[in-house]
Copies of this chain bind each other. A is one copy, B any other.
């Protein structure tokens, strides 16, 4: 459940980042924000950057210490871009999302300070380190951008689980607004195409080269819809008609 996931931001100095993180969360369906010693909060800049996600800021809980902010959380993931000297159990963002959504209880995903991230003491309180892959020569990921990436992976996993649950409870029926063309319709289209190309004198029956093969290869790639076959055949008929007109006037 996305509602069980607590996003914890530790020691953020720029309030804009808190607002941007709230917006990142809400776009992906997260709602629970906890703040540890934010330098400025509440703050107009945070609200401005949240643009519509200010409910998350209003409901955000503030804590004096990191330990307190972990209240009621059963699994704690610490986000990092750096490879730490100490070997830590490290997850990808995707694996973190899977583990977080498997858990029926509250989990915390923790993001550290803009300049220095989480301290080793803070990491020691985490069950897992989540490492976001970055360019090794420039790993300066903005904290709200890091929240966005984790929130995105959570959304992806959440939607996968939802589809899985929907399929198991009741069969989902996808309405077919755009039916693909049948094999017969496609075959008739190719016949029509070949005749039209002969009529406009582009295809010479005595020397067809590889022409129709190339056109098959092209149109087979598209998986034409019924409506598209009708459209293309309408064009062919119009082209044929113009040639017939020529012949009449000859």
Contact = CB atoms under 8 A, between A and B. Distances in A.
Contacts of A243: 242, 246
B23 A87 contact: no
B149 A152 contact: yes
Among A23, A87, A144, A148: residue with most chain B CB under 10 A: A148
Nearest to A214: B231
A92 to B, nearest CB: 8
Contacts of A197: 235, 238
A238 B135 contact: no
A218 B222 contact: yes
B135 A155 contact: yes
A145 interface: yes
A148 B132 CA distance: 12
A52 B222 contact: no
A164 interface: no
A139 interface: yes
Interface residues of A, number: 61
A174 interface: no
Interface in A135-190: 135, 138-142, 144-145, 148-149, 152, 155-156, 159, 177-178
A60 interface: no
Contacts of A144: 145
Nearest to A177: B87
A107 B22 CA distance: 32
18 contacts: A27-B81, A27-B134, A27-B139, A28-B134, A51-B140, A52-B138, A52-B140, A53-B140, A87-B178, A135-B155, A149-B149, A200-B238, A200-B239, A211-B231, A221-B221, A221-B222, A246-B246, A249-B250
User: 10 closest A-B pairs (Cβ-Cβ)?
Assistant: A202-B238, A29-B135, A249-B249, A246-B246, A239-B239, A242-B243, A145-B148, A27-B141, A200-B238, A26-B138
Given A211-B231, A218-B228, 17 more contacts: A23-B145, A26-B140, A27-B134, A27-B135, A29-B138, A51-B140, A52-B140, A53-B140, A87-B178, A197-B238, A200-B241, A201-B238, A202-B234, A218-B222, A221-B223, A242-B246, A246-B249
